[in-house]
Structure 1
Amino acid sequence: MCEMASKFTKTEKRRSGVQPLNPACNLQIIKAVKEYEYVQEGDIMIGGVMASHFYMANVIFPPYKSNRFLCNSPNQQAYRYLVDFRYAIEQTNKDPARLPNLTLGYHIYDSCGDPRKAVRSVLQILSGTREPVPNYSCVGKRNIAGFIGDLTSETTVPIAQILTLYGYSQISYGATDPSLRDRVAFPYFFRTVQSDEANYFAISKLLRHFGWTWVGIITSDDISGEREHHSLAKYLSREGICIEFTIKICTNEEHTKKLNQYEIIIQESSTSVIILSGTVSTMFVIELPVTLNNVLQEKTLILSSNWGNNDIVVGYAVEIFNYSLVFVPRYHYDLGTPEMSRFLEDLHPSKFLDDELIEDIFMMFHLCLSKDQNKNELYKYIYINTLRNCTGQERITDIYHFRGETNSPRVHLAVNIMSQALHEMLFIKESIQYPYKYQLHCYLKKHQYSPQTGPTFLFDEHGEYISGLRIYNYIISAEGYLNKMLFGEFSPWAPPDQQLNVTSSLIQWKTNNNEIPRAQCSDNCPPGYRKAPKPGAQSCCYDCVPCSEGEISNTTDSESCIRCPDMEWPNEKMIQCIARNEEFLSYSDNVVSAIFSFISVLFFLITEVILGFFITYRDRPIVRANNRSLSFLLLVSIKLSFLSVFLFLGRPVDITCMLRIITFGITFSIAVSSLLAKTIMVCVAFKATKPGSSWRKWLGVKLSNSVVLFCSSIQIIICMTWLAISPPFQELDIHTSPGTIIIQCNEGSAIGFYSVIGYMGLLAAVSFVLAFLARSLPDSFNEAKYITFSMLLFCSVWITMIPAYLSTKGKNTVCVEIFAILTSSAGLLASIFLPKCYIILLRPDMNTKSYLHYNNNV
């Protein structure tokens, strides 16, 4: 017996592509090892390079000083693709409308997933011989139309490079390398799958849907893993997703030293989501439970469609992949027909004596003895299971990964597309002048497939067959297999906001209470906050800071806050812009307005009563003294001053802004002018009492009326000039008080405003000086001392009002103005008329000509 078990284990095959065997076993191995080749001649041939084994060993045979390719571990799922190929050819030949009067044949080799074997297989098909002869065909007029294959990018890329040189069209059913999108380098290449670019775009959208912005990546330590990592990082970055760590799995000595380090990295990571990328191989998957089993069972894995189409590979680590999320291409193409079921039922070694691969599969998965004793011996030393005589009732459909529901129709689709393109090229278009292998790709570009429902499918400008993606949840079944539970779809042809359709409630998670795993470096910033980057950290790691004054954020994890429009302000939570509060001295909302209104009306009524008294007692000496017409004019102006308060209340508009300033400016000027005229009349009357005085001619109403008219006219001119040049207007102040619009009056011209106030002050000052000088002059009823006091009060109020006016804003400014008007008006009323009212009402004995003359003589 050959001592081979210790020499040819899986571990040894992983570490070396060339394996020396015991010389005593070499003869048996040479007899047992054969190339897996399938040939069916036809008028038109389709070449096929299809990986039906997991890997290939290059076995050295010392006595012969030669080495042989040994395809090892048949892949039941990959064999299904080979079956689909042959079934599609059979269906095409049965269709009289597809290629009438012509038969379609095939020549298929197994690449065993090795680029060297794949290149050799292509050359063998082109040469037509066991030993390939480049650039030469040994089968004469054999018409090779194109090629189907291969499953992986590692084997497909070198095949495409060779077929491009010869001008043959090629349709791959599994290669996802983005470099194959280059139509200059690969003009004849097509594939029924989409590249990694499309897969990672869909993954990035799924991560963003669940709010996962902080993920880890485990990839293979090879060129494919490096390329896919670069592509994945690009799409993750576009969605604002950061990579916390990247682990590259390989099988060399250096990797063995890093195992503990990898385990610590994953264990200490804060993310619960890890993306698996890189080369899909059993060795890669087997390495995961060996090195990272404990830590990965707590993480949710995300798998691209490369992994989703390889259930048998994923099945080597069911515990790790349990509850993972996986993408699988969706084809609107059904293979579940009765004809297909019958075809599969007939697949048995007893009916296909020349099919070495199906015999190997029955040996591997049904443990059936082969009729070839050498093969039985070889199996005995490679695998640990004991073979037995089978009953003949075993079916290939009993094998889990061979069942229809675990496979996609992409190979059948590839053959069908090529046969349709051949039909169009040979029987619909004009006659072909050149070898049609150079023209077939033009018809492949135009191929369209339109299912009864859904969009039309075709190859895009990069030679990729546009298909959707279904998203599944891996769940371990009672039999120990990973079942796929559908929970979502990705439709690249849909509008951007409708491409991803996920029902989260259907997903089973690894977390307690079936909660969605957390994969964030920082907690989400709620609305009202924005993200502030942390120095030296990735963009996904940030602090949450409240929005600045006047800004909002109404979305979670807002990068920046939005400034509200001028007329709006953030609400309390800073998530919505609302209308600013309007601030003005309102009638309804302010108690101050009610108080001012009451006081104004009260004093107006008091003034009206006093005016009534004066009119009633207009012929009495106390009223006639000091020019009663001026007293009437003064009372009217004071009444108007009290009423002007209402122009300051309520929402200011342009017209009220103009009227309020003009009204109190002119009325006060008339009032002060009246007092000035009274004071002048006192002085003139005193001068006129001297015998022969020339001042007698100034006695009378003309002088007083002239003084009032002249002084008031100057104020009127000032006001009209102000209104003509730069009148007051309504102003909306949004800067003084945050969140508030202060509706106020803008003076328009500060010079005009202070000119009005200044002129009133000038009149008051002149009146004060004259009244002060005439306060002790003898008269029947000398008002000078009362005028002196009233002007002193008036000047004090308005001098005090100026700094208060400048230091306040909004309705407080209006309050200052109203207070000044009421106070100065009430001061004038009280100082000038209350003493006279006292005499009229309470001391009628003093309201006589004799009493006034007696006082004057005294």
Structure 2
Amino acid sequence: MKKAFPPCELTSLSPAIEYEYYQEGDVIIGGLFSVHLKTSEDDAHGAVYKKITMCKDICVVEYRSLLAFIFAIEEINEDSNLLPNITLGYHIYDTCADPKKSIKYAFIIMSGYQREVPNYSCTGRGDVAGFVGNTGFSTTVVLAQILSLYRFTQTVHVTSRVSSSLSDVVAPGNLESWGEDVQDRTFLDHHLIVPPFCLFDSLPLAEESTHSAVVKLLKHFGWNWVGIITPSDGMRTMEFRELMTSNAICIAFVIIVTDDVEDKLKKTYAVINSTTEAIIICGQFSMEVLEFLIDLTSLDYNATLILNEPWRIILSYGYIKLITPQINCSLFLLFPDQSIPGVKDYMENISPSKRPDDPLLEDIWLQKFGCLSSNELKNNWTRYLYKSHLYNCTGMNMVLGDRYPYRGLSKYYYAYNVVYAMAHALHQLLKDINVPKIYGLKRKLESYIARVHYKDKNGEDIFFNERGEMSSKLQLENWIISKEIDVTGMKINRKVVGRFEDSSDGDMHYHIHLENITWRKDSMPEFRCNKRCLPGYRKIPSHRIHACCYECLPCSEGKVSSVADAENCWECPDEEQPDERNVKCIPKTYDFLSYEKDSLFFIFTVLSVIFSAITLFILGQCIYYWKTPIVKANNRTVTFILLTSILLSFLCVFLFLGRTVDITCMLRQASFGICFSITVSSVLAKTTTVCIAFKAAKPGSPWKKWVSSRVSNLLVLICSSVQVLICVIWLSVSPPYQEYDMDSYPGKILIQCNEGSVIGFYSMLGYMGFLAVVSFVLAFMVRKLPDNFNEAKYITFSMLVFCSVWIATIPAYLSTRGKYIVAMEIFAIQTSCAGILGCIFMPKMYIVLFKPQLNNRRRMLE
């Protein structure tokens, strides 16, 4: 912009009454406020009004926002830490909610003179850094395009009439969706939004934040079937519906209330017969909606209403008495009253005596209090427009707080923080460039404002999110209206039961105290199209058109769902299984021969101890009667080896009991195979000794040289060594190991031994069976040889028992799993060893213990 050109000498010829506030400074912040709500032109009632443009319907709330703006600048100028050596100034106009006035005043502020002079700067001191924008969607968009041409940053108070898509238009960085025309694109980068406000004398309304909070609230409660009642505003309703649909919330009905009584009755019928009792009242406060709700007697005891910030107005105008049955126990999403230190006294004590040159305060005293002003034109215009009688208030000690007490509302809070956001951005900008230069800052200011992040005097974080919106807070209130009457005519208990807060990560954080909410029916209702699918079930689509309406199907076998309304069921890990209700995965039970739980463990242990004791007893008797004929017969050494191997076989059973580990898996089969091979080899040696003895009894028989104990001992050693070699090779190449079988039995994990090399395992068993068969065949051949020392018939019976047991065990072994296969193997070991012990040694023990007279050589030879 250029400086001090002839257009700056022009004077304003406009007959309109203008409301201007100006203070010089090193940096100027422009302000456009809609304190007056509209403009009136009247040329039909005398020359005094002809072609005079006047503003009417002043808004005290907006005026106080303007005062908060001025208060913030004065406070910043007194702060030595923020913008030191820099004085902030302001240039403010009341636009009267008129787009033409807004554009005109924007050019005046940019020109720095009383008349708009495009492309010229007539400021004597201070550069305009940015604008606090007007409240009005159409005005905001037009100003955004104009101010962007001059690279000015505009921070916008968006009205409640504005679609939430405005933030898509003016948020920084959203250029990709626009065309190649630079003028259609560049204005988008220079505008930031604070939570929007109503134009009328009401409280803040941040639609984007409120809609997000409503959706989070519904999802937190688990409600997915709601209705909407709204004034005639289809665009906002459509956007809200899209947001809810994207969050899996279905809308039972949408009622746009109009002035049509017949239509209203139809809509009332629709609500009464609706399937949901959760109703969201969105949009601005509307008398039509209020009357509509009053007529809905069905809401008296059934529905739960969710209302937004504009409906706080019912407290101020006494509407609460009319709508008490409908809104009792309802939920309100409201802005918390956030006070500004020092501003309360500043605003409460505003009076014409303290601000004699304040044109807006003069209008407030004129219109709100009926006090005569010094401007006769205004007096006449007010009398004509409002048909009111004016009084002389001179000398009356009235302040603004007498009729409009300060409530610490968020509207002032955000207007105050807008100035501070610009100040912090300017402070950081001047700090970064590190030169005392204040001109030309407007081109860089926008990026600094977008990144500003500081704590205000209340300790709250102030920042702009990625959509260019200033952080906002909402609180969830539960209004309980008592039948008791107090001085206000109605007793209302407003409980804060939740809070919603924007965060720097772009999400809205919230916390809700469900236990503090009072519901109409004493417990939280469930507003859903159908009941939730319980854990153990999953959702499947139904025939209805709404996605929130579905059916429930039990989880298939082996799968669970642990939450309500699960989309899918999932399988448990291998080591877990579903519980009876398919709700959660529980650990599978481990299956093995446990000493804590299984009676088989106790039985096998007792049997092994008993048989081991019997074997030791027989071994002791054999040692005691070492020199008796019955012990000396058929090789005492082999007898002792046989008894020892039988004892070890009984003791091997303990390697099969309990929970297996790798070392027990390696030892139990090998030890069992070696001990059993020694046992069978000893039996084979005994059988061979009997066979050779009878062969050598014939005169001149060549078998006499083989009649020796060394032959039997050597046979035992050789046959046993073969089994030892097999086991050594088996354990070296592929030894057994512990494994978990999770598939054989549902709900069980079989802890068992994998035998490693199948060839090694069956070679061990096969060799042991081969020795048993050879022993049985030889014993069977010599079973009828006449001799009192002939053990062949006993050996035959023992091998018959041995082979029968193992042959019967094989199919059972192959058809069982888990601990039962181990039980079968233990049974076979104990039974076969007991058969050998009983068949071979019981007859001898009978003679030794009960017929000692038969245990002598003479009686044996008879």
Which band: TM-score by shorter chain?
Answer: 0.7 to 0.9
Asked whether the 8 Å contact 1:314–1:321 carries over to 2, the reply is no
Q: How does 1:34-433 map to 2 (within 5 A)?
A: 37-40=18-21, 48-52=31-35, 77-78=61-62, 80-81=64-65, 84=68, 104-111=90-97, 117-123=98-104, 126=107, 147-153=131-137, 155-175=139-159, 177-179=166-168, 180-183=170-173, 184-193=186-195, 196-219=207-230, 222=233, 224-226=235-237, 228-229=239-240, 232-233=243-244, 237=247, 241-245=248-252, 247=254, 249=256, 251=258, 257=263, 260-261=266-267, 263-264=269-270, 267-270=273-276, 272=278, 274-278=279-283, 280=284, 282=286, 285-286=289-290, 288-289=292-293, 294-295=298-299, 298-303=302-307, 319=324, 320=326, 323-328=330-335, 333-334=340-341, 336-343=343-350, 355-356=362-363, 359-362=366-369, 379=386, 397=401, 399=403, 403-404=407-408, 408-414=412-418, 430-431=436-437
Q: 1:30: which partner in 2?
A: none
Q: Which residue of the other structure, out of 797, 820, 828, is the alignment partner of 2:828?
A: 820
- What 5-or-longer segments of structure 1 have no aligned partner? 1-33, 112-116, 365-369, 381-385
C-alpha change, 1:353 and 1:264, in structure 2 (3 Å) is: closer
Alignment partner of 1:173: what SS? strand
More deviation in 785-794 or 555-564? 555-564
Alignment partner of 1:489: what SS? strand
Query: 1:649 Cα deviation (Å)?
Result: 2.2
Distance 1:796 1:58 in 2: 122
Distance 2:525 2:299 in 1: 15
Distance 2:218 2:447 in 1: 38
C-alpha change, 1:723 and 1:154, in structure 2 (3 Å) is: same
C-alpha change, 1:539 and 1:218, in structure 2 (3 Å) is: same
Query: 1:650 Cα deviation (Å)?
Result: 2.9
Distance 2:382 2:513 in 1: 50
Cα deviation digits, residues 655-680 of structure 1 (max 9, x gap): 32222212221222222222223333
TM-score between the two structures when normalised by the length of structure 1:
0.76
Q: How does 1:635-714 map to 2 (within 5 A)?
A: 635-714=643-722
Cα deviation digits, residues 104-157 of structure 1 (max 9, x gap): 44321211xxxxx3245423663799xx99986999769877543433545533
Asked whether the 8 Å contact 2:350–2:399 carries over to 1, the reply is no
Asked whether the 8 Å contact 1:36–1:109 carries over to 2, the reply is no
Distance 1:737 1:426 in 2: 76
Q: 1:114: which partner in 2?
A: none
Distance 1:147 1:318 in 2: 42
Distance 1:95 1:841 in 2: 117
Distance 2:314 2:139 in 1: 16
Counterpart check, 1:519 vs 2:537: no
Asked whether the 8 Å contact 2:789–2:860 carries over to 1, the reply is yes
C-alpha change, 1:162 and 1:525, in structure 2 (3 Å) is: same
Query: 1:596 Cα deviation (Å)?
Result: 1.7
Q: How does 1:708-723 map to 2 (within 5 A)?
A: 708-723=716-731
C-alpha change, 1:505 and 1:662, in structure 2 (3 Å) is: closer
C-alpha change, 1:779 and 1:157, in structure 2 (3 Å) is: same
Distance 2:654 2:305 in 1: 75
C-alpha change, 1:692 and 1:809, in structure 2 (3 Å) is: same
TM-score between the two structures when normalised by the length of structure 2:
0.76
C-alpha change, 1:592 and 1:611, in structure 2 (3 Å) is: same
Cα deviation digits, residues 489-546 of structure 1 (max 9, x gap): 3343489999424444554x44133x334334455667x6464344467665566677
Query: 1:817 Cα deviation (Å)?
Result: 1.3
Distance 2:507 2:585 in 1: 26
Give the residue type in structure 2 aligned to 1:752: G
Give the residue type in structure 1 aligned to 2:157: Y
Q: 2:840: which partner in 1?
A: 832
Alignment partner of 2:797: what SS? helix
Q: How does 1:427-442 map to 2 (within 5 A)?
A: 430-431=436-437, 441=446
Alignment partner of 2:195: what SS? coil
Query: 1:342 Cα deviation (Å)?
Result: 1.0
Q: Which residue of the other structure, out of 439, 455, 462, is the alignment partner of 1:457?
A: 462
Q: Which residue of the other structure, out of 445, 469, 477, is the alignment partner of 1:472?
A: 477
Query: 1:549 Cα deviation (Å)?
Result: 7.2
Asked whether the 8 Å contact 1:271–1:518 carries over to 2, the reply is no
Counterpart check, 1:783 vs 2:785: no
Give the residue type in structure 1 aligned to 2:500: F
C-alpha change, 1:141 and 1:53, in structure 2 (3 Å) is: closer
Distance 1:291 1:624 in 2: 118
Q: 1:6: which partner in 2?
A: none
Distance 1:575 1:444 in 2: 52
Query: 1:734 Cα deviation (Å)?
Result: 3.7
Distance 2:695 2:69 in 1: 135
C-alpha change, 1:841 and 1:145, in structure 2 (3 Å) is: closer
Distance 2:823 2:381 in 1: 113
Q: How does 1:708-787 map to 2 (within 5 A)?
A: 708-787=716-795
Query: 1:820 Cα deviation (Å)?
Result: 0.7
Query: 1:603 Cα deviation (Å)?
Result: 1.6
Asked whether the 8 Å contact 2:35–2:62 carries over to 1, the reply is yes
Query: 1:471 Cα deviation (Å)?
Result: 3.7
Give the residue type in structure 1 aligned to 2:831: T
Give the residue type in structure 1 aligned to 2:456: P
Asked whether the 8 Å contact 1:221–1:248 carries over to 2, the reply is no
Asked whether the 8 Å contact 1:472–1:488 carries over to 2, the reply is yes
Distance 1:95 1:791 in 2: 110
Cα deviation digits, residues 287-317 of structure 1 (max 9, x gap): 7537767449744344556777998799698
Give the residue type in structure 1 aligned to 2:144: A
Asked whether the 8 Å contact 2:559–2:582 carries over to 1, the reply is yes
Asked whether the 8 Å contact 1:673–1:763 carries over to 2, the reply is yes
Asked whether the 8 Å contact 1:244–1:269 carries over to 2, the reply is no
Cα deviation digits, residues 588-645 of structure 1 (max 9, x gap): 4433222222222222222222223333334333333333433332222212222222
Q: How does 1:597-608 map to 2 (within 5 A)?
A: 597-608=605-616
Distance 1:740 1:658 in 2: 24
Give the residue type in structure 1 aligned to 2:470: Y
Cα deviation digits, residues 437-478 of structure 1 (max 9, x gap): 666656755766543452552445654333443443456694
C-alpha change, 1:218 and 1:72, in structure 2 (3 Å) is: farther
Query: 1:757 Cα deviation (Å)?
Result: 1.7
Asked whether the 8 Å contact 2:41–2:51 carries over to 1, the reply is yes
Distance 2:359 2:45 in 1: 34
Alignment partner of 1:192: what SS? strand
Q: 1:492: which partner in 2?
A: 502
Query: 1:228 Cα deviation (Å)?
Result: 3.5
Counterpart check, 1:596 vs 2:596: no
More deviation in 195-204 or 171-180? 195-204
Alignment partner of 1:110: what SS? coil
